[in-house]
Chains A and B, each alone.
Chain A
Amino acid sequence: MVKVLKSVLFLSVIAIGTFMVSCETEKTPVVDTTPKNGVVLNFVGLINGNNLASSTKMHGKFGGELFSVTNWSILVSHLALVKENGDTVQLGDGYQWVNFTDGRTTFKYLNIPEGNYKAISFLLGLDSLINHGDPNKWPANHPLNAFTTGLHWGWSGGYIFQALDGNYAKDSVTSSTNGFSFHAATDQMKTMFNLPFNYTIDKTVKTATIECAVEKMFESPNPIVLKNTAVSHSESAAEIILMKAILENAKNVYKITKVQ
């Protein structure tokens, strides 16, 4: 009888022990969350040196016109750092949606290979296959999700690469305004940007400030007079010429001013 009791006791202890061990909650492993090998891209939208998102007044532009911006958004791909030898290191999946109006302008990238880099490059726009692919296949909140950005025509035209909308004063006397709307779209509007940037990726994370001066979109080398040409949706021949002129001006819009 005693032997039987001992057996039962022995079995019980083993069973309980096994139960406790097998069901022990897994301890959360300690993860080193210290950022390293990184860069933060901070796109700062400016209008005549003022913060674009918070500016509420009309600003002077080339040619003396007064204007304000109500919407400025760009869709970029192939966002990358350029090594000294010309090779590129893609940042994230290479896509980004910069929304200057709503302040979606800061993007952090980690675990970049150490070394010296000489530029940041990006394509304003998308490769043709992506541009004309299914915009709803992208997860919600992805830069290419059509509902998130609103930067999709909804039809075969693909995405809008840059949307720039606002108002300009009809004259210098009254406060009356008209709207302007420049939407760059279709494959032929893809534009490559290469911003010089001396940067060494090490164990730290530094911030690159990219100043984006919207008024330069209308300045040089192709001065844009809004009262003459206030709309381009990249559709008609005249609109395509106008949009290409604006995108040529855009080369002067983006400038890396500091890295710290």
Chain B
Amino acid sequence: MKRVRLKILCTSLFAVVLFFASCKKEDDNAKYNSKGTYIPTKIDPFSIFPAELGMPSLPSDNPFTIEGVYLGRMLFYDPILSYDSSISCASCHKQEFAFSDPVAFSPGAFGLKTKRNAPPLYNMAYSKHFFWDGRANNLRDLVFEPIQAHNEMAMTLPKLEGKLKNATRYIDYFNKAFGHEPNLVDMSKAIEQFMLTIVSNGSRFNRFFPGDSIQLFNMSELRGAQVFNGLVHFDPVTKFTPGADCFHCHGGELVQQQNFNMGGLANNGLDDVLTDLGYGGIVNDPKKYGTFKAPSLLNIALTAPYMHDGRFNTLDEVIEHYSDKMKFNSPNIHTLISSHGGFQLNLTTEQKANLKAYLMTMTDNKLITNPAYSNPFKK
């Protein structure tokens, strides 16, 4: 009888132990699951995006992992993405220039050049529209455009997939990040992960914002802030305006309006006759011809030349345009500009200098030196 009881006890104990063992969740720190598949290490998005900016809307099917972000970073810096292995994403988006290019039109494969200026890359997690003409709505689709553009990377997708599959340096990384051999979908998701992690929030402006830490700025910068964030109110007699109303299109902590209807998309009066249809050409809407995505002005001191075609080499030229050379007859000029009644702002020399001083506070040196965004092939 005792033996029977003992047997029942042992059986029960065994069953209970087996129950807990079989249903135990996989250890989050374990690198391999029970089938021997590598488990990438997740990154908490709260460790990427600062509280001051809030949590952006992120793609639910592409969670950040250490392996995925690193793979994306490798791909971003690897000229393997171009036809002749001469051009990488970083060729036109250089970290030291806030991931922009200091030339108006960047050289691509076979000596051809881009048709628009390479925009800087940061805080993309907070955007819904990409490229100057806003034609891409997410980063993983975006990456295929420069790769296939004849004047950029000039690559074909079958050839690219073949190159990735044959690149021994990538087989292990793709496997670890996505559990597969290299393929184009995972390539785009890895680059998306890396690009989403690029955050710029470390400038003096960012510490000043929303304006309650005035001790961080000198008098010229503070006055520049007033010009930037002040509305256009012309004195009826002198036509002097204390404000230039920059903030409607370049407002908030990102220094960029995200809503296309609120100034995030604008014709800023560069030309009487349009030479580039911009967003209007994408949506085939004459009412939108000549409109472009308003860029963030963070790091503006690093991202010359300016405008979609890189026509202005200096910030002084940019300020000159908005102050004195606005083309009010430009088709579809933004209503916030045309509502000035056709009067140039005619900012004073001092206002211009102050405005420039304010813009110079927006440089984020952490962005351009952060090793997490740097070329992983350079040791």
- Asked if A167 is an interface residue, CB under 8 A from chain B, the answer is yes
Main secondary structure of the interface of B (DSSP, over half): loop
Binding-face segment, A27-35, A117-125, A132-140, A193-201: A132-140
Verify if A89 is at the interface (C-beta below 8 Å from B): no
Chain A 122-166: CB-based contact to B (< 8 A → 1; otherwise 0): 000000000000001111110001111111111110000001011
Give the shortest distance, in Å, between B279 (CB) and chain A (any CB).
Answer: 13
Stretch with Cβ within 8 A of A (4 or more), from B50-58, B142-150, B368-376? B50-58
Residue of B nearest to A152 (CB): B252
Decide if A241 is an interface residue (CB 8 Å cutoff): no
Contact of B261 among A71, A146, A181, A230 (CB under 8 A): A71
Q: Which residues of A contact B57 (CB under 8 A)?
A: 140-141
User: Residue B54 contacts which of A14, A137, A177, A231 (CB distance < 8 angstroms)?
Assistant: A137
**Chain B binder among A18-26, A38-46, A78-86, A212-220:** A18-26
Interface string of B9-45 (1 = CB under 8 A from A): 0110011001100110000000000000000000000
Given the known interface contacts A22-B23, A141-B57, the answer about A73 and B335 at a Cβ–Cβ threshold of 8 Å is: no
Cβ of A236: which chain B residues have Cβ within 8 Å of it?
Answer: 233
Q: Write the chain B residue with the least CB distance to A13.
A: B11
CA distance A14 to B12 in the complex (A): 9
Q: Is the CB of A99 within 8 A of B54?
A: no
Query: Distance (Å) between the CB of B226 and the closest chain A CB?
Result: 11
Chain B neighbourhood of A139, CB < 8 A = 55
Instruction: From A70, A141, A176, give the contact of B335 (CB < 8 A).
Output: A70
Docked Cα-Cα span, A7 to B8, in Å, equals 10
* With A14-B14, A102-B261 as contacts: A165 and B335 at CB distance below 8 Å: yes
Is the beta-carbon distance between B54 and A15 smaller than 8 angstroms? no
User: How many A-B pairs fall under 8 Å by CB?
Assistant: 120
Smallest CB separation, B311 vs chain A (Å) = 24
Enumerate chain A residues within 8 angstroms of B212, measured Cβ to Cβ.
Answer: 156
CB pair B338 A15 closer than 8 Å: no
Contacts of A235 in B (CB 8 A): 231, 233
Nearest Cβ in chain A — how far from B370, in angstroms? 22
- Whether A22 and B53, one on each chain, are in contact in the complex, defined by CB atoms closer than 8 angstroms, is no
The digit string for B45-75, where 1 denotes a CB below 8 A from any CB of A, is: 0000001111111000000000000000000
Q: Please determine whether A19 and B18 come into contact, CB atoms closer than 8 angstroms.
A: yes
Taking A10-B11, A147-B54 as given, write out 7 further A-B residue pairs in contact, using a Cβ cutoff of 8 Å, ordered by the A residue number: A147-B126, A150-B259, A151-B259, A176-B329, A179-B339, A233-B231, A235-B233
Which residues of A are in contact with B by a Cβ distance under 8 Å?
7, 10-11, 14-15, 18-19, 22-23, 56, 70-71, 73, 99, 101-102, 136-141, 145-156, 163, 165-167, 176-181, 230-231, 233, 235-236
Residues of B within 8 A of A (CB): 7, 10-11, 14-15, 18-19, 22-23, 51-57, 126, 209-212, 229, 231-233, 247, 251-254, 257-259, 261-264, 287, 329, 333-339, 341-342
What are some 24 contacts across the A-B interface (CB < 8 A)?
Answer: A10-B11, A15-B18, A18-B18, A71-B335, A99-B261, A140-B57, A146-B252, A147-B54, A147-B252, A148-B259, A150-B258, A154-B210, A154-B247, A155-B211, A156-B211, A163-B262, A167-B338, A180-B339, A181-B336, A231-B232, A231-B339, A233-B231, A235-B233, A236-B233
